[in-house]
Amino acid sequence: MQEISTKPYLLRALYEWCTDNGYTPHIAVRVDNQTRVPRQFVRDNEIVLNISFEATSQLQMGNEWIEFHARFSGKSHKIEVPVANVLAIYARENGQGMAFPVESAGGEATDSEDDEAVIDEAPAAAPAAAEKIGETDEGPAPDDDGSKGGGRGHLKVVK
């Protein structure tokens, strides 16, 4: 009998830890032909998915697949991710979570390390600019006048 990977158990445990502490769990996923996600949100064959209760419907985190419904740009999509394709799970608010070695289609790790790596910062596999499900809290668009923001406001009081 083949031993079941610890990865799905770690994913479920970290998901529960995030939700118990009021954090928003995200997963970074390597996208391939087995991954069912809206392709227009994929960047460099990766996507970051918000898997919080508020962002998903019918979330099922099994030993082989993570499945749920989510909305992208207002349209509902069925999301199916092989557990082997999950690169990391982390809390959006503080970046704490765990990164996993990239697995080949046969389920073997392609990294030189066989053990999972615990991380305290946002994983490199999860770029901040990646699209996230259910999030609309993007900041204001940058001004086109070339000015750097952050300082004093650019409005003047006219009397």
SS3 of 115-141: CCEEECCCCCCCCCCCCCCCCCCCCCC
Q: What is the mean pLDDT of the chain?
A: 78
**Residue spans per domain, the chain:** 7-119
| Residue range 122-145: mean pLDDT, rounded | 42
| Residue range 100-127: mean pLDDT, rounded | 51
| CB within 8 Å of 153: residues ≥ 6 apart | none
| Residue range 2-24: mean pLDDT, rounded | 95
**pLDDT band, residue 139 (cuts 50/70/90):** very low
Please tell me whether the overall predicted TM-score, pTM, comes out greater than 0.75 for this model: no
Residue 130 and residue 138 in contact, taking contact as beta carbons nearer than 8 Å: no
More confidently predicted of 77 and 1: 77
pLDDT digits (tens, 9 = 90+) for 58-113: 999 999 999 999 999 999 999 999 999 999 999 999 999 999 987 765 555 544 34
Look at residue 152 in the predicted model and tell me its pLDDT.
54
Give me the sign of the Cα torsion angle 40, 60, 33, 111.
positive
| Residue range 123-137: mean pLDDT, rounded | 41
- Strand-pair partners of 79: 68
Residue 120 scores a pLDDT above 70: no
More confidently predicted of 137 and 66: 66
- Does domain 7-119 fall into CATH 2.30.30.220? yes
